[in-house]
Copies of this chain bind each other. A is one copy, B any other.
Amino acid sequence: MSRPVDAVLALAAEFLGERLTTNAALREQHSHGEDALPHALPDAVAFVASTEEASKLLALCNAHGVPVVPFGAGTSLEGHVTPVRGGITIDLSRMTDIIEVNAADMDCRIQPGVTRQGLNAHLRDQGLFFPVDPGSVCTIGGMCATRASGTAAVRYGTIRENVLGLTVVLADGRVIKTGGRVRKSSTGYDLTRLFIGSEGTLGIITEITLRLHGIPEAISAAVCQFDSMAGAVETVIAVMQAGIPVARIELIDEVQMGASITYSKLVGLAPVPTLFLEFHGTPQGVAEQAGLAEAISGDFGGQGFRWATDPAERTHLWQARHDAYWAGLALKPGHRGMTTDAVVPISRLAEAILGVKEDIAASGLTAPMVGHVGDGNFHTIILVSDEPGAVERAFELDRKIVARALALGGSCSGEHGVGIGKREFLEQEHGPEALAVMRSLKTAMDPKAIMNPGKLFLN
């Protein structure tokens, strides 16, 4: 029993007690996210309850060279939480305190295990909300680590634009605070943004100061259907260029619409390319925005533009959008989903999407498509069977989709991150020199390379 991890476990048990565990079921539960990548077990799982505990644990792991993997809700789609080199998984999902809400400043300070849903339930009676909405039930700490966004980023920005400051435990256990509560500051390097999207490779986020927004006086949803994918995409581009402040503008292709009509019992909609829109503002402003969007959609062949301020109808529509993943899976019972995440400049969106649909057809696979198209970001959910070679065929299609996005000046991931699954594309996307700079920052911050090893960088 001379493994370095054993020394750490013995010492950490003194302050973590039963919250440090080598229980087989808990290790298995922490061996993977929601991806199709191989699983790997941590040596132990630590459910930390405070910044101080995380700090003490990291200092020990660093001293003994033991790998550390931060874990939130485990909803990663790119293998971020898989402990490929063992070590200790630090589970932050029990750190769910909403420490303070400052209504006058429209900000709050939370622990990293708080979910968007939990935070918004807490904020509702103060007239405030947190708008970054990746759809899944994930932790806000995880959203910070992967630079998440989702359906409302087109209006409210990604997590990057909605974090004011962080508390971070560094690899050696030092604790720093980045940013603060002010809306802007020009003092020193932007450490907050350095940790946003660092995927647990530079430190562990243990507190987050978030920017909040006022719940809009009026919200309306709209849906519009098109004969062609091109018409739907051209509508999106024109809506964005007109400066209509849409809160959400989502594209659902004909395959996904077919799936969602069945799964979510959507009435009066056809399995054709469709836009779901949402407008936030005053009653008058919302009506005006929807009217402008309707006029634009008509120019590009949009039919049956339908909008409603009725909360029940709106909820049903967006629930269908959020359930798209499950609706897609239901097309092929017994299959798993592998989600792609390409993003391109919006002017290249039609070309990218039509090209990807050709790739899907050529692959013989089923892959419904949804997209945060106001940002140029679209997902395909590749349905993967249990047959030998099926995962490889899905990855093959994913690579083709990434290649198309990069060729059009895009990125391999709009919001899911690099993790394990997208490492091979990082150099192509950023160039060897920029990648070398990223590696030099990693080395400066984590010289013993204990922080989430095997992620972001190919070694």
Contact = CB atoms under 8 A, between A and B. Distances in A.
Interface of A: 102-107, 146-149, 153, 157-158, 160-161, 170, 174-178, 180-191, 193-194, 196-198, 202, 213-214, 216-217, 237, 240-243, 245, 282, 284-285, 288, 292, 341, 343-347, 375-377, 409-418, 422, 425-426, 429-431, 433-438, 440-445, 456
B347 A105 contact: yes
Contacts of A170: 433, 437
A425 B186 CA distance: 12
A376 B146 CA distance: 29
Contacts of A147: 184-186, 190
A106 B376 CA distance: 13
A426 B182 contact: no
A197 B186 CA distance: 6
Given A184-B149, A186-B148, A433-B174, A106 B241 contact: yes
A413 B194 contact: no
Contact of A189 (B161, B240, B284, B438): B438
A175 B433 contact: yes
A234 B416 CA distance: 41
A187 B440 contact: no
Residue with the greatest number of chain B CB neighbours at <10 A, chosen from A175, A188, A431? A188
B186 A190 contact: no
A41 B341 CA distance: 51
Given A284-B288, A437-B445, A182 B345 contact: yes
A409 B180 contact: yes
Contacts of A182: 343-345, 375-376, 409-411, 414
